[in-house]
Amino acid sequence: MDKNVVGWFEIPVSDMDRAIRFYEQVLDLKLERHLMGPLDMAWFPFTETGIGAPGSLVYHPDQYRPSADGSLIYFTARSGDLAVELGRVEKAGGRVLQPKTLINEDVGYMGLFLDTEGNRMAVHSRR
């Protein structure tokens, strides 16, 4: 059986409560918080049979640092039109870096934002 190449992702945060509020508001979902020793994690919802990779916000004072210069994670727009999610970014305390932009007709659209923690992220939709 073919699998996606990414099995899990982690987004570093410096303030877990603030980050949870931001992502829940922008993506219109609920995160599930887990304290694991020194790790404080908030998991994005996922299913075992769904398309894509599950992931988490993660706080650890010594091992994780938010960055606008590292890997770029693309969230799938749950609304179907990423303009909806991008429209929530600034109200939630983030900043839109690139408005909805056509990649190409076959792939769809993308937009970039900076979250409340200083991470550069992306959102994607087909329309």
Residue 7 has pLDDT above 60, yes or no: yes
Q: Which percentage of the chain shows pLDDT scores above 70? A: 98
125's CB contacts (< 8 A; 6+ apart) are 76, 77, 79, 80, 81, 82, 108, 109
pLDDT tens digits, residue range 70-120?
999 999 999 999 999 999 999 999 999 999 999 999 999 999 999 999 999
92's CB contacts (< 8 A; 6+ apart) are 21, 22, 25, 26, 116
- How many residues are recorded in the chain? 127
In a domain, 93, yes or no: yes
Does pTM surpass 0.85? yes
In a domain, 73, yes or no: yes
Burial of 86 (0-12, 13-18, 19+ CB in 10 A): buried
In a domain, 61, yes or no: yes
- SS3 at position 58: strand
Say how many domains are in the chain: 1
pLDDT tens digits, residue range 31-73?
999 999 999 999 999 987 777 889 999 999 999 999 999 999 9
In a domain, 55, yes or no: yes
Q: What mean pLDDT, rounded, does the chain reach?
A: 95
The residue segments making up the domain with residue 43 are 9-125
Dist CA 89 CA 78 (whole Å): 14
Q: What is the CATH number of the domain that holds 109?
A: 3.10.180.10
